[in-house]
Structure 1
Amino acid sequence: MEFELGIMMDPSAVAREDTAADLARQAEAGGLDLVVVRADEGGVTAGFDPWTAAVWVSGATERIQIGVSDSWTAASEGGARPEGAAVPGAAPAVADPEVPVPSVVEKARESLARLAGPRLLTRGGWVVAPDDAGRADLTNLAGDGLPVVVPVRSRDDVARLVDMVAQDGPAVGPRRTTAARALRRDGIEYDAVPRSLLGTAVEPGDRDYLAVSSNYLRGGAPGIVLRPETPDQVADALAFARSHTHLPLGVRSGGHGVSGRSTNDGGLVIDVGRIHRVEVLDETRRLVRIGPGATWKQVAAALDPYGWALGSGDYGGVGVGGLATAGGIGLLGREHGLTIDHLRAVELVLADGSQVRATRDEHPDLFWAVRGAGANFGIATAFEFEVYDVGDVGWAKLTLASTDIEKSLLRFGEVAGAAPRDTTVFLVTGRPRQGQSGIQLYAIVDSPDPQVVVERLTPFLDLGTLVQQEVYLARYKDIMGQAADVGPDGHHGQGEPVSRSAFLPAITPEYAHDTAELLHSGRVFFFELRPMGGAIADVPAEETAFTHRTPAFQVTAMGVDQADLDARWDRLAGHFDGLYLSFDTDQRSERLHDAFPPPVLGRLRDLKRRYDPANLFRDNFNIDPRGSSGATRDDERGRE
């Protein structure tokens, strides 16, 4: 039907063999839009409070909208107040216990609003049709744009209305209520959403909206979230994006990106989380195919039965898509290199909707660019990786206390840099407290021999006083499996993350001193050093768009104020050599030049002009195709 159709019922008048909840569930299953619980003419429901009954109906259903009609509601909306009813603002009348008390009614309304959320119809109202209204009668009553409700007493009454809806054929997408549509954002053609995406698209008034609006670290309120499940649907989503270039565009896989804009305010988000299959293509070559929406926890679990692994940062809840197009500095990195170093093919949907497969031989320019700057060139729908053998490994979480963080940082640089390739240890610290700095070490030693694990880790105990330790042999899947699963309620990030990142050639005494001052300022609550070198440095710089192969460490700091952190981080710039875009939230144009040396940035701009000339993918460290390929750094700063 072209209008919303629902039922109205007095729970005390429902046929004996049925209940109000039964009729509500039947209405919902049949595609009706609204259930209104009403009081009888005296203002109550002969043993039922209408608001309490509506809560019961709400709990028995999932989608259908809920309304309540009682004497006080009617009076407060301009209807006639029954004799003896309380007057707003006056002391409640207590002579008649059946007369509704305004404050009690308002509390009931507030409680139902909290429980039912956007399903509670709080504005606009509805039109009540005669019990025996036919289709033509209902259509005429809907002329004012309000939902139409028909009083019902039995399943047969509801079935009659359901049959009317069924005559229109199955709905392509969800039937959204008036209240839900009222929450739509300006500037979005909701009725133009591609047919292939209607069934899974999420709008601000939908039940699933809170589960998809924010990501792990960032709060958001997008105007619409499209959730494609196939490459063709991704192409459809990008067609919608091309007709809405005035909106922010976010692309999401797992929703853990620090720098990425996988959510926004009032814009479009394309969420590929449903493209998450992991499959083995060639067991002899250890070749696997992974969807961008899989998490690294899921990947590790799928590879473990074969005795394989693929290094993937340090947290199993991260999605494949973002990390596999940026770099992937993980806990197996010094032995096996970056995640992107094992990529053999990637399937992309480009800005114009075309689908390509990029390898060393097919679209080699795109294959180069995707490995380090992928967010600028398309949406990946599949990755093919050549993984490697990994058995039991030593896994350690060590907590140390240091009274001299400067000395501890310097010592970490010495020990981590001298460690064998089979050992990768991440350091995390933050604000000193009461003269001491807490240091967390997260380590993998790729060896099943406990004695080797102990030998590799012992030098790191020089960083401070050991407070707590957890060291044992584990499978890589169990390490990644420590990440919490994201449930049906999704992420609940709030605000905006504030983070800076850099590559560090070495931890010198000067760097350790300056970083200690930064930490003692109290303005940084999270600080991490990730060792690089080893296999990461084995790959030639020109092999991928990720060109920073020689630094010894990648460093990240998180604070609470972007301007303040930027000012403090800028003072450390002399120690750095480039940055890792995945962990940086500074949007100044200089960051692009830190990430990509001039020849690399020039090549990326040329490719951007070829594959995304209209700059559709522009919302995260944008490589603007309008920039000059041969411009100097100062020239670029002046234009951007």
Structure 2
Amino acid sequence: MINCKELRNKFKEQGCTFTIVCPTDPDYDKSRIIANSRFNYYPLAIGYCENAEDVSCAIKICKEAGLHLRIRSGGHQHEGMCSDNDVFIIDLSKIHTIRYTDNTNDYAWIPPGKKLQEVYKELESKNRIIPGGGCGSVNVGGLTQGGGWGLSARKYGLTADNIIEAEIVLANGKIVKANKDSYSELFWAIRGGGGGNFGVITDFLFKLSPLKDNVTTFELHWPKDKMLKIAKKWMQELPTHTCNLTTACRLSVTDQNTPSRTAILLVGQFYGEIPDLQKILQPFYDISKPTYELYESQTYTEIVNALLHSKKQSEPLPSLLAKRQTRLGSLLQPTVSLVKDEEAPTQTCDGPHPHKISSAFPIYDDALVDKIVTYLDNTKASEVVNLYLSLHGMGGAIQDFTEGPFPYRAKDFLLQFQAWWSNPEDPNTEKYIKWIEDFRTALQPHVEGAFINFPDASLVNRPDTPKGRIELLQYYYGDNLPKLIEIKKQVDPENLFSFGMSIPTET
């Protein structure tokens, strides 16, 4: 196999000037890190491409050299499949400049390497928003291609529902624009068909949505003994309420050994004013007054004034919407430190952490809630691992969008099973992984399917076999899988973009 120095020379000979990091370079160990530190891969090289032409060059030369490729936007693929040993990583993090199509600010090209926190902050200054995810360190690329759930989803749909065109580098190195009129089947596939399957997306054209006069966020806490009633009320009411409200509910394993951990967390974002939101949430107060409550509301005028203020003075900014969105997202995904006395990371978005996640959609009845609470109650809490279930509200605009390969739009909510810890060498790692697997199994037959933004290769016994791969992907794509395979065969007939959960070229 070609070594990294020889590869770098090949790129130079072809006039490709983007940065390539090799194992002998001082930045290599930092460059190879991905968000799930449970995986410790050593790629052959990392290429920091800066435009579509760089990506095209990387694809052509790696094909000539017989190298396997991985595509990395922000490195947050939960199963670590944006990297591997001895592969060439096409890193897109340097493609990160937003470009507006005109002065109306109704449309913008947002590239895959742009972090969500930066997207929200910049769009806020123009009275615009996209319905992205909650974790500010996640980049646009992988999130969008998987669908993308966030706290504006019931108002404006999934992230993928808001793109109207994409620039894509195909497996033959050709740079194309995919939309409803050109490469229309490919355009259908990338809006929920998972990242890295059909080519390398180097830009997304988004339809931007206006910020309403008031945007309110909230956070409510309850103790463990209210879990059954709060969870049941959430499933029955909030997912089908006004589309101006998107909520999520986190149910955690906790006991006397973890006194600082919140058992029940309800968060959300409401396009409206606090009194109107509190009326909607009154049924939860009727069950029990929260042990903690926080409501924050801001008008667009206040946001702009705060941004202007920050340029003139060094005082802390008021709680801008971008900051609040990512804070709520981090609350849904807390993690822990291994050592009690050291400063613990407060959330999963602040750096690499070992973790395991899975997902499912409900076949709802009262037994589902009972089984969830029973499983959590029967789990012993630990200070070194956070174990919990996050419920994400769907419906609203998500159900209204009829295009793309995401097959579960009719569902009222999504379940995300999560385990996060701090030490990649934790001797109980396999126990944490098994906890996730057993939790999902315990909810049968009340759940089905899975969400590709939350990938889990352990849903089937042998995902490394052709039959197992198809069985696994059917969880995520359902009846749309045959069409995705056909599109894959057309745009990537040699299966260049291949990894553990990629769409194959044949059944």
Whole-Å separation in 2 of the counterparts to 1:283 and 1:456 = 37
For residue 528 of structure 1, the aligned residue among 383, 387, 390 is 390
Contact 1:505 1:553 in 2 (8 A): no
Higher relative contact order at CA 8 Å, sep ≥6: structure 1 or structure 2? 2
Whole-Å separation in 1 of the counterparts to 2:351 and 2:105 = 40
For residue 62 of structure 2, the aligned residue among 237, 241, 246 is 241
For residue 493 of structure 1, the aligned residue among 345, 352, 369 is 352
**Displacement of 1:226:** 0.8
* Residue 549 (1) aligns with residue 394 (2): no
Residue by residue, what CA displacement relative to the aligned partner does 1:133-175 show, whole Å, maximum 9, x if unpaired? xxxxxxxxxxxxxxxxxxxxxxxxxxxxxxxxxxxxxxxxxxx
Identity %: 25
Q: How does 1:232-311 map to 2 (within 5 A)?
A: 232-243=53-64, 245=66, 247=68, 249-259=69-79, 261-284=81-104, 286-311=106-131
Q: How does 1:338-487 map to 2 (within 5 A)?
A: 338-375=158-195, 376-391=197-212, 392-434=214-256, 438-447=263-272, 449-461=273-285, 465-474=289-298, 475-480=320-325, 482=327
Residue by residue, what CA displacement relative to the aligned partner does 1:94-146 show, whole Å, maximum 9, x if unpaired? xxxxxxxxxxxxxxxxxxxxxxxxxxxxxxxxxxxxxxxxxxxxxxxxxxxxx
Q: Structure 1 429/301 Cα, relative in aligned 2: closer, same or farther at 3 Å?
A: same
Which residue of structure 2 aligns with residue 566 of structure 1? 437
**Displacement of 1:419:** 2.5
Of the two, which has the highest radius of gyration?
1
Structure 1 gap segments, 5+ residues each: 1-185, 485-489, 628-640
Q: Structure 1 481/498 Cα, relative in aligned 2: closer, same or farther at 3 Å?
A: closer
Contact 2:230 2:284 in 1 (8 A): no
Contact 2:18 2:47 in 1 (8 A): no
Contact 1:402 1:464 in 2 (8 A): no
Q: How does 1:586-625 map to 2 (within 5 A)?
A: 586-587=457-458, 588=463, 589=469, 590-598=471-479, 600-625=480-505
Q: Structure 1 492/250 Cα, relative in aligned 2: closer, same or farther at 3 Å?
A: farther
**Matched residue of 2:206: which SS?**
strand
Greater shift in the superposed pair: 576-585 or 603-612: 576-585
Whole-Å separation in 1 of the counterparts to 2:265 and 2:44 = 40
Q: How does 1:190-229 map to 2 (within 5 A)?
A: 190-193=5-8, 194-195=11-12, 196=15, 200-218=19-37, 219-220=39-40, 221-229=42-50
Contact 2:151 2:325 in 1 (8 A): no
TM-score by length of 2: 0.79
May I ask how many residue pairs the two structures share in their alignment?
A: 430
Contact 2:18 2:50 in 1 (8 A): no
**Displacement of 1:349:** 0.5
Q: How does 1:17-28 map to 2 (within 5 A)?
A: none
Which residue of structure 1 aligns with residue 312 of structure 2? none
Whole-Å separation in 1 of the counterparts to 2:63 and 2:156 = 39
**Displacement of 1:358:** 0.3
Q: Structure 1 231/619 Cα, relative in aligned 2: closer, same or farther at 3 Å?
A: same
**Displacement of 1:401:** 1.1
Moved over 6 A (4+): none
Whole-Å separation in 1 of the counterparts to 2:326 and 2:392 = 20
Residue by residue, what CA displacement relative to the aligned partner does 1:539-587 show, whole Å, maximum 9, x if unpaired? 22xx111121101111111235334532442342422232101112225
**Displacement of 1:460:** 3.5
Q: CA RMSD in A?
A: 2.5
Contact 1:214 1:491 in 2 (8 A): no
Contact 1:286 1:388 in 2 (8 A): yes
Q: Structure 1 407/451 Cα, relative in aligned 2: closer, same or farther at 3 Å?
A: closer
Whole-Å separation in 1 of the counterparts to 2:439 and 2:323 = 38
Q: Structure 1 476/197 Cα, relative in aligned 2: closer, same or farther at 3 Å?
A: farther
**Displacement of 1:289:** 0.7
> What is the identity, as a one-letter code, of the residue corresponding to 1:580?
F
Q: Structure 1 615/563 Cα, relative in aligned 2: closer, same or farther at 3 Å?
A: farther
TM-score by length of 1: 0.63
Whole-Å separation in 2 of the counterparts to 1:374 and 1:565 = 22
Greater shift in the superposed pair: 564-573 or 524-533: 564-573
